[in-house]
Structure 1
Amino acid sequence: MAAHVWPLYGLRVTTPRLELRLPDLETLAELAGVAADGVHDGASMPFTVPWTDASPEERGRGTFQHVLRTVAEWSPRAWTLSLAVRCEGKVVGRQDLTASDFAVTREAETGSWLGLAHHGRGIGTEMRAAVLHLAFGGLGARWVMSAAMTDNPASLGVSRKLGYREDGVTVAAVRGEARTLRRLRLGREDWEAHRAVRVDVEGLEPCRELFGV
């Protein structure tokens, strides 16, 4: 893709095992395939928007459209950076960083999913650590938020490992039922104290105006 037109295509975040990039069309097709193959046990629903309650074809197509939509709707006042995650060369999931009025609030929020075949390998922790480094070290965030269902110990465990503190609860209607989510908040000092993964960021400078910084 033409990074000189849309500099975010030149942004690259890496850890010892992972590479996170805004996907070009070929990579986006791979990401759609991972979503189609399954993201979680069908007996549970870890997302407030139950986008995985669909056929494999619809999940893949929805993933493809979602990422393109984040590019089309981007503005410095409201943006979602939706990065494809590669582990040792293979697309395994998606890591998002979202913010509104970031230039003023210096707050962002993370969200992610990982292909079911890649669970249990520590990838979720490493890809979150990567995007946190981008937020705090690259963009100067003061706070990064997350949230997870109270019955989602894997996601909550990742947050605690990375230094997040509990920030109350909220209730969402999911599949027609009330579900409780635990809110989590990470400040710069706690991020610094819990950094355990080496992260490198390339191609950020041409993107700063797009982030509103």
Structure 2
Amino acid sequence: MDLRHWPLYGLRLRTPRLELRLPGPGLLDELASVAAHGVHDPDRMPFSVAWTDGKPDEVARAVFQHVLGTVAGWSVRDWTLSLAVLHEGEVVGRQDLMGRDFAVRRQVETGSWLGLAHQGQGLGTEMRAAALHLAFAGLGARYAVSAAMTDNLRSLGVSRRLGYVDDGLDTDVVRGAPVMLRRLRLDRARWEAHRSVDVSVEGLDACREQFGV
């Protein structure tokens, strides 16, 4: 692939078990299929946006369109890096890193999901650690924030292992009902203190300007 006009396709994050990269059409189709096979118990909704509601082909199409939309809608002032996560060459989930006015605020937000078959193996911690390394070590972030429903113990557990601290509560509406969210915040010092995953980054220099740095 010629990367002259969109060098983000050449960005690679690697951990001991994972590779994260912006998916082209073929990899994106695999990612959509993982989502179609389920990412959570259908009886509960762990996401603030209920994007997994619908038939499998509808969920797959929503993932495909979302990732393409992040590329089409990218700007230096408001960007979402939506990375496919690969384990042993197989797509297992998605890790997002988001920045709004990042050049000024130096703050990022994360979001992610794993296919049901790949949960419970510590991959969620490893993939978010990769995104945080890109943010802090690669882009010079000062803060990372996240949020999860108060009963989403897996997501909250990942945040705690990586050093996040509580940052208050918020209320959202999901499936027409109110839900309570726990906000979390990670500063650079706590990220440094809790680093436990080796991460390497390839291809960042070619796309720094697109992040506003």
Name the counterpart of 2:107.
Answer: 107
Give a deviation string over 1:47-74, Cα, whole Å, max 9, x none: 0110101110000000000000000000
Give a deviation string over 1:106-162, Cα, whole Å, max 9, x none: 001000010011010000000000000000000000000000000000000000000
Gaps of 5+ in 2: none
Give a deviation string over 1:88-120, Cα, whole Å, max 9, x none: 110000000011100000001000010011010
Name the counterpart of 2:189.
Answer: 189
Q: Which letter does structure 1 place at the counterpart of 2:200? A: D
Query: What secondary structure is seen at the aligned counterpart in 2 of 1:96?
Result: strand
**Which structure 1 residue ranges, 4+ long, deviate > 3 Å from structure 2?**
none
Deviation at 1:3, TM superposition (A): 1.5
Name the counterpart of 2:4.
Answer: 4
What is the TM-score of this pair, normalised by structure 1?
0.99
RMSD: 0.5
Deviation at 1:2, TM superposition (A): 2.7
- Provide the rounded CA distance (Å) in 2 between the counterparts of 1:194 and 1:19: 21
Q: Which letter does structure 2 place at the counterpart of 1:24? A: G
Deviation at 1:21, TM superposition (A): 0.2
Does 1:162 find its partner at 2:162? yes
What is the TM-score of this pair, normalised by structure 2?
0.99
- Provide the rounded CA distance (Å) in 2 between the counterparts of 1:133 and 1:177: 35
Give a deviation string over 1:163-202, Cα, whole Å, max 9, x none: 0000001000101110000000000000000000000000
Gaps of 5+ in 1: none
Does 1:89 find its partner at 2:89? yes
Tell whether the 8 Å contact from 1:16 to 1:198 is kept in structure 2 after alignment.
yes
Tell whether the 8 Å contact from 1:2 to 1:9 is kept in structure 2 after alignment.
no
Name the counterpart of 2:127.
Answer: 127
